[in-house]
Amino acid sequence: MMLIIFALMLSTTLLSSVLAIGDVITAAVQSVAIYNLGNVDETVEGGNGALGFFDDKVYYSLVKLARNYPDIAAVSAAMVEQNLLVADENSRQVRSKVTALAIIPGSEQGFGGMQNDNGGRRLRIADLAPDEVYLNHTTAQLLNAHAGDFIYLYSKRWPAQRYGFRVRAIVANGGLTGDTPFILSQIQPFRDIEGRRDDITKVFIANRGGGGVNGVGLSDSVDEEIEHRIPRDVHIIKVKQQGVLNSQKAENIFSRIFALFSLFVLAIGLLLIFLIFVLLAAERRVEMGMARAIGVQRRHLVLMFLFEGTVYDLLASFFGLGIGTGVGVLLVTFLGPTLARFDFPLKLTFQPHSLIIAYCLGVIFTFGSVAVSSWFVSRMTVVEAIRNLPESGRQALSLKEVCLLLLKLAKQGGRAIAQGKLKRARHIILEQVPEGLMGVIQVLLQSGLLPLLAGYGLMRLGLVQSQIAFFSLGLTLIVVGGGMLIKTVVEQVVRLLVQKRLQANRMFAALAGLAIVAYWALPFDALVGLGLPRFHGGLEVFFIAGLMMVLGAAWALIANAELVVNPLLKLCSWHPRLRIMARLASAYPLHHRFRTGLSVVMFSLVIFAMTVMAVITYALCDGGRGDPTQRGEPGLAPVPGTGSERELPTGTRAAPDSTGARL
């Protein structure tokens, strides 16, 4: 009983832990995306020139508007210099892709001001001298810079020029800068560098709500209010709203990855449940045979297994939900401090709908697996069950025989109703007629007609929607159905001509299984050369392809297991004891091929799922290795002392010449 409950709760445990971790990761992605934008909800930019200069009158008009418009909490303005190369003379570190934010003094206060990174007093732009700057925490960390260091700024806009500044302090991330590398200074030094008088390049606007995603809902109304108050050469960008949309795209990626893993988990769990119930029925065959001998009907056996499985299912799913949630909490607890050091905070977040979905999916899919296995294990004869004999292969009826049987049952049922024999009529309608309908479906499946029809429909759907999953599943069913139809025709022809029964199951399984493996191993665009359209697909194709390849390989292997077992037996024949052990070990798998196939498919899916997740994890981890902002670039270090430095604006410290340079 404990083994059954453990197997049944495994699916719910893994599902709930996957969904819980998915909620935490998606919340962390959104918080990081919003945090990178600081308190800025909209920006006003555009203008003329390479940097997009426009008059600072725009800023002062918006400040005046903010006093009378409650949805705008703060307005700031700055000149923004992007893609700067920064060299720290003291730490000898060089970083590219740094942004300089030259702010109009006092305008930063509405965005929370600037907090000293060491926890000291609040800082102001107005306190800076013309040759002093602040570094935010990210820039200081990249440069290993400290207060008092001397840095040089280089830009493609200033060929053969560099400008030096003293680091006055390190400020905490947030406010106007967010989490990206920034240098903060007064606006006048950079106006002098660019030869501008009253120009700015960007206006920052914070909505009412206190930062985060609170002010995103006001972006549209603020946009409408500002649009007719600014010149035509500038425009409004709702950066926080765009950040939320981008974070939702990232959440979608994570959701797809976790959904892929959930599909593998469900498939493995359902196979395990099915296998356990098959083994449970095999252990209780004598008991079921005795029950059938004293008059218990087959539907009673199905209901007995179904009731037993439902009780296990409800209990196991409940315990599995709690254990899965606990696993998610432990993972977040242990991984949180490590990821926090990389500015990726994990906050324990549980969505109630995720827990409900995990429990319901665990109950529904487990119940379905129990129902199918209950129907499957109840197919036995009384003699075979009582004597615990192997299941004999029964010859399936032809479609004509099944239809005649249904017609006969219909006549008997009508006669029983007319004679008032309701018990007999109920037995025919509820037991024998469904059995006959299942026989029709079985005949259509074995003849290949049903797979052909289903495959044609899926292929048409795939071509219309350009979906590779539908098209490939349809093609697979057509291959299987066509092969079964050809096999059936060949067997019937041989039976009529030679009066012998031809068994082509092994050859058909080998050809069809290997064909399925070969097709699903092809890349997406392999069919484009045949004139078919370019199909689309998501991460779910990994699951479908993996399942099809595993099923095809297991089908071909189990049907022709002698090709693998016989050479091993020959290899072990040199030693009598080893030969006997090998024969005994191979007897059960060869005798019960269905159970062996289930076990092979289940373990193969486990290995396939681990491989797919390892590949995806490596791809995600390797994606940022080529980003130059994440590492130092010694090759981009400037060569000082070119001899072409121009005279710098008043208050800006010039770089030393070539004889005094230390970089």
Using DSSP bridges, classify how beta strands 72-88 and 93-103 pair: parallel, antiparallel or unpaired: antiparallel
The pLDDT of residue 117 is: 81
pLDDT tens for residues 33-44? 665 566 778 888
**266 and 222 co-located in one domain:** no
The pLDDT of residue 636 is: 37
pLDDT band at 599 (very low <50, low <70, confident <90, very high): confident
Closest C-alpha among 254, 176, 207, 195 to residue 539: 254
Answer whether residue 643 shows pLDDT above 60: no
pLDDT band at 11 (very low <50, low <70, confident <90, very high): low
Most confident of the following: 240-254, 409-423, 494-508: 409-423
**355 and 299 co-located in one domain:** yes
Phi, psi dihedrals of residue 416, rounded to the nearest 5°: -65, -40
State which residues form the domain around 229: 42-237
**12 and 48 co-located in one domain:** no
**In angstroms, how far is CA 134 from the centroid of its own chain?**
40
The pLDDT of residue 639 is: 37
- Mean pLDDT over the full length of the chain: 77
Q: Is residue 516 part of a domain?
A: no
**12 and 90 co-located in one domain:** no
Average pLDDT over residues 180-205: 89
Let me know: does 373 contact 277? Beta carbons within 8 Å.
yes
**114 and 191 co-located in one domain:** yes
Comparison of pLDDT for 621 and 96, the residue scoring more: 96
CA atoms within 13 A on the CB side of 264: 25
3-state secondary structure 599-638: HHHHHHHHHHHHHHHHHHHHHHHHCCCCCHHHCCCHHHCC
The pLDDT of residue 98 is: 92
Phi, psi dihedrals of residue 645, rounded to the nearest 5°: -65, 135
pLDDT band at 322 (very low <50, low <70, confident <90, very high): confident
pLDDT band at 663 (very low <50, low <70, confident <90, very high): very low
User: How many Cβ atoms sit within 10 Å of the Cβ of residue 518?
Assistant: 11
Closest C-alpha among 255, 234, 240 to residue 354: 255
Answer whether residue 346 shows pLDDT above 80: no
Let me know: does 150 contact 66? Beta carbons within 8 Å.
no
The pLDDT of residue 661 is: 36
Q: Is residue 606 part of a domain?
A: no
Q: Which of helix, strand or coil describes residue 272?
A: helix
Q: Is residue 456 part of a domain?
A: no
The pLDDT of residue 183 is: 92
Q: Is residue 573 part of a domain?
A: no
Identify the domain boundary among 394, 422, 438.
394
Q: How many domains does the chain have?
A: 2
pLDDT band at 340 (very low <50, low <70, confident <90, very high): low
pLDDT tens for residues 621-641? 655 444 444 443 333 333 333
DSSP letters along 342-363, please?
TT--------HHHHHHHHHHHH
**28 and 94 co-located in one domain:** no
**182 and 295 co-located in one domain:** no
Which residue, chain included where needed, has tokens 């010694």? 634
Average pLDDT over residues 242-259: 70
Using DSSP bridges, classify how beta strands 72-88 and 202-207 pair: parallel, antiparallel or unpaired: antiparallel
Sign of the torsion formed by the C-alpha atoms of 628, 634, 635 and 637: positive
Least-confidence region, from 83-92, 246-255, 341-350, 604-613: 341-350
Question: Which residues, 6 or more positions from 397, have their beta carbon under 8 angstroms from its beta carbon?
Answer: 405, 439, 443
CA dihedral 534, 538, 540, 541 (to 10 degrees): 30
Closest C-alpha among 70, 73, 138 to residue 112: 73
207: tokens are 């909505």
Distances (CA, A) of 499 to 423, 492, 615: 44, 10, 55
Q: Which of helix, strand or coil describes residue 658?
A: coil
The pLDDT of residue 630 is: 40
Q: Does the pTM of the predicted model rise above 0.75? A: no
Identify the domain boundary among 237, 272, 299.
237
CA dihedral 445, 450, 451, 456 (to 10 degrees): 170
pLDDT band at 395 (very low <50, low <70, confident <90, very high): low
pLDDT tens for residues 371-393? 777 777 777 677 766 766 655 55
**191 and 52 co-located in one domain:** yes
**30 and 143 co-located in one domain:** no
Cα angle 631, 632, 636 (rounded to 5 degrees) comes to 130
Q: Is residue 556 part of a domain?
A: no
Q: For 495, left (φ over 0), alpha (ψ -120 to 50), or beta?
A: alpha
DSSP H or E segment with residue 516: helix 505-520
Closest C-alpha among 206, 267, 262 to residue 43: 206
The pLDDT of residue 646 is: 36
Most confident of the following: 11-15, 182-186, 417-421: 182-186
Average pLDDT over residues 264-270: 77
Percent of the chain past pLDDT 70, that is, above it, reads 77
pLDDT tens for residues 506-563? 888 888 889 999 988 887 677 777 778 788 877 778 888 888 899 999 988 888 888 8
The pLDDT of residue 92 is: 92
Answer whether residue 321 shows pLDDT above 80: no
Closest C-alpha among 137, 51, 62, 142 to residue 102: 51
**95 and 209 co-located in one domain:** yes
pLDDT tens for residues 274-313? 777 777 777 777 777 787 778 777 777 778 878 877 887 7
Q: Is residue 342 part of a domain?
A: yes
Beta bridge partners of 75: 205
Identify the domain boundary among 180, 202, 237.
237
Closest C-alpha among 527, 486, 531, 524 to residue 505: 486
Which residue, chain included where needed, has tokens 């000898």? 92
Answer whether residue 448 shows pLDDT above 60: yes
**146 and 174 co-located in one domain:** yes
Least-confidence region, from 121-125, 590-594, 650-654: 650-654
Q: Is residue 292 part of a domain?
A: yes
3-state secondary structure 402-435: HHHHHHHHHHHHHHHHHCCCHHHHHHHHHHHHHH
Closest C-alpha among 260, 380, 361, 263 to residue 320: 361
3-state helix, strand, coil in the chain (%, to 5): 60, 15, 25
Q: Is residue 638 part of a domain?
A: no
Let me know: does 111 contact 75? Beta carbons within 8 Å.
no
Spell 548-580 as b/e; 16+ CB within 10 A means b.
Answer: bbbbbbbbbbbbbbeeebeeeeeebeeeeeeee
327: tokens are 């696993």
pLDDT band at 469 (very low <50, low <70, confident <90, very high): confident
Closest C-alpha among 336, 321, 242 to residue 27: 336
Question: Which residues, 6 or more positions from 514, have their beta carbon under 8 angstroms from its beta carbon?
Answer: 552, 553, 556
**259 and 196 co-located in one domain:** no
